[in-house]
Structure 1
């Protein structure tokens, strides 16, 4: 687009004052956000600081915040003293299978509760939500006895199969979250597809799921983080050290090298890194999914 000569003259004549100073309210808002973020980041900063220190520096009084010198050998020592590569692969396999099962089955259940009309739908959904009030500790023993009777102990079956049944293994919240997001999608899209001869399954895959990327990402993050950090499940069902997950590896590492705090801190920082990277790359969808969930029409 060509700017008229008069416009160019006016633009050149206009004085340039530089960027506007921030408003006082914006400054106060940023200050409050920074003040709230500092306590949240402090434990992670302490972890990284400890991972780069010797034991003497770590427990010095008063505390030292800056390693001098940097003890990079803690990372190499921690990753070689224990088979963390095998633990990482075991944890990743369990997490991927669990995420796939949770996202697929919870999405199907949420689609049925939100987009389909069938008798008793609201009653069944209310019964499903009532399972949230059941403490996890109450089901530990009967669940363990069930898997023991099925001969599934010391395998990843008890850690992955429940994820393929919506509502099991804490999936009730995921069903509720995805149902609330599906309700925000206009029903006119479904009706137009049904008029064209589409089946409910086709509507689910071609209309609802592509429009529900934020909700899918939120469920993915929640499930992945929960599986990655799970300690009680692997502790109950896994006894062979070759099948250990990262959480069990850290626990056994601490018991074997209780005085090597630098190794423990370095291994903990390495375990947390994939979760931070996952949230960093998916934070936009995560915030969008949490914000839009529950907003109808």
Structure 2
């Protein structure tokens, strides 16, 4: 009798151990979790390795850069790289230019794209299908095709070398990737029940009042997603500023491209600019100074950003 009980206990423990290792389902056992964590660690390393390289290199002096035995941790922290990058980028002025374009452009995009997306999702008006087609068309047309007509128009209006070349198009729904943001808002507003609007109309609310008092508060998660995407893209853009802005009004992205030339004092061979160990640490410091502000914004708003991604359906 005792032997049978002991055998049953051993069998039960074996089943528990098997369930703990393999799990009742395919993804809840120790073995599956170890595999998932292993794969996530590899993906995280692939994404973070360039950032780690940038941080490590910006603190290396010339001897550490030339020493192949120094890989990640420098023997001595070289803080002068940050100072030289700060001065070479003309950081206060360039930061003010960049934040003006990115912040105000993003806020305008949120308001205008939300209004357009709401109209396409909830309102009925003649030519609605054509309007939706034109929105999708602007999403497909690359900016290189229309850059020359835009340059001529902005030149005649006297907007070149000012933030107006980015803020005014955003005001009319033609900002950086505005079509994508309109689609995001359209999909979000389509998920909201029509009963909300019908109840508000019974109380005498106008269409704009419904949008501003009911729909926009409900779309806070979508607004945050659009704001962050727009802010990052405006912050990192290079092609349009290189065409419309000169030395009098340049953002950080243009200054970073000119940093090797500024550090060398002349215009050397392009290969010397890219692979010169004398400027490598300063260039990585400049890249860090540009990456850090949007990274800080994302860290602060990460929780709401992930929630907004889920609610707007971008994960589908």
Alignment CA distance shift 1:152-1:167 (3 Å): closer
- The residue aligned with 2:221 is 214
**TM-score, length-scaled by structure 2:** 0.82
Aligned to 1:5: none
Dislocated runs of 4+, deviation >4 Å: none
Provide the secondary structure at the position in 2 that maps to 1:66.
coil
Distance 2:42 2:184 in 1: 30
1:42 is aligned, of 21, 33, 49, to 49
* Corresponding residue of 1:51: 58
**Counterparts of residues 91-106 of structure 1 (less than 5 Å):** 91-106=98-113
Kindly name which structure, 1 or 2, has the bigger radius of gyration based on alpha carbons: 2
> 1:265-276 to 2 correspondence within 5 Å?
265-276=284-295
Say whether the 8 Å CA contact 1:97–1:160 is kept in structure 2: yes
**So what's the TM-score if we normalise by structure 1?**
0.87
Structure 1 unaligned blocks of 5 or more = 1-19
How far, CA to CA, are the matches of 1:179 and 1:162 in structure 2? 20
Instruction: Provide the C-alpha distance between the structure 1 equivalents of 2:142 and 2:70, rounded to a whole number of angstroms.
Output: 40
1:125 matched residue in structure 2: 132
Q: CA offsets per residue over residues 157-211 of structure 1, 9 Å max, x none?
A: 1122111111443200110011101112222111111111111111111111111
Instruction: After TM superposition, list the pairs within 5 Å mapping 1:37-186 onto structure 2.
Output: 37-62=44-69, 64-186=71-193
1:35 CA drift (Å): 1.6
Alpha-carbon RMSD: 1.9
Equivalent residue, structure 2, for 1:245: 251
Q: Which moved more, 1:268-277 or 1:77-86?
A: 77-86
Corresponding residue number in structure 2 for 1:9: none
Alignment correspondent of 1:278: 297
Report the alpha carbon displacement of residue 80 of structure 1 after superposing the two structures with TM: 2.8
Q: How far did 1:82 drift?
A: 4.0
Are positions 1:256 and 2:262 aligned together? yes
Contact 2:139-2:180 within 8 A present in 1 as well: yes
The answer for the alignment partner of 1:287 in structure 2 is 306
How far apart are residue 125 of structure 1 and its match? 0.7
User: Which consecutive unaligned segments of at least 5 residues does structure 2 have?
Assistant: 1-19, 22-27, 264-272
Q: SS at the partner of 2:191?
A: coil
Distance 1:274 1:294 in 2: 27
SS of equivalent residue, structure 1 residue 183? helix
Number of residue equivalences: 275
